[in-house]
């Protein structure tokens, strides 16, 4: 072990033995985001109107609700990892832990609302 510098303290310990999974999963979800967001942007652009009845009818279809749930899962797990990277770069010590916990609450909280909303519309149908 070295002289108490940050590099000295970790020299000889080898690699972190983890991290490759985070990196790979970030790339995998980038690919699925590209496909799902491409579908979403084209679908939104091609909607005949944006009033309540039209939008609800659109979302109530299984052909929309299923990819929409996949989009939430893919996009949210991607941005959860992205926020982690940003937080770990700029926040140290206690504030890092606080920010990482807040990020989990944000991602899972919003994600649960999104998926619940999609499924509610899909299961209760267009007329409501």
Partner 1 sequence: MATRSSARPISPHLQIYKWGPHMLVSILHRATGVGMATVGATVLVWWLAAIAAGDAAYATFRHVFVDFAGGALGYVIGIGLTLTFFQHMASGIRHLVMDTGAGFELKRNKMAALATMFVSVALTALFWLYLGLK
Q: How many angstroms from the chain centroid is the CA of residue 8?
A: 36
Q: Determine the Cα–Cα distance for residues 77 and 26; give it in Å rounded to an integer.
A: 8
Residue 106's H or E segment, with its range, is: helix 93-124
Please choose, from the candidates 7, 1, 118, the residue with its C-alpha nearest in 3D space to the C-alpha of residue 64. 118
Interface residue with partner 1 among 16, 18, 21, 52 (CB under 8 A) is 52
Of the candidate residues 34, 66, 104, 125, the single one contacting partner 1 (CB under 8 A): 34
Q: Does 18 sit near partner 1 (CB under 8 A)?
A: no
Query: Nearest distance from residue 1's CB to partner 1, in Å?
Result: 14
Least Å distance, CB 66 to partner 1, is 14
**What residues contact residue 19 under an 8 Å CB cut-off, 6+ apart?**
none
Asked whether position 128 contacts partner 1 by CB under 8 A, the answer is: yes
The only residue of 70, 82, 99, 100 in contact with partner 1, by rule CB under 8 A: 82
């Amino acid at each position: 072990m070295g002289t108490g510098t940050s590099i000295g303290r970790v020299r000889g310990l080898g690699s972190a033995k983890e991290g490759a999974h985070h990196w790979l999963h970030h790339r995998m979800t980038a690919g699925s985001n590209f496909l799902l967001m491409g579908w979403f942007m084209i679908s939104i652009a091609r909607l005949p109107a944006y009033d309540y009845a039209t939008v609800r009818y659109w979302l109530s279809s299984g052909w929309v609700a299923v990819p929409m749930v996949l989009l939430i899962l893919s996009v949210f797990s991607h941005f959860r990892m992205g926020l982690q990277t940003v937080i770990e770069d700029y926040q140290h010590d206690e504030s890092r832990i606080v920010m990482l916990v807040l990020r989990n609450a944000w991602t899972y909280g919003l994600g649960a609302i999104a998926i619940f909303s999609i499924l509610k519309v899909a299961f209760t149908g267009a007329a409501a």
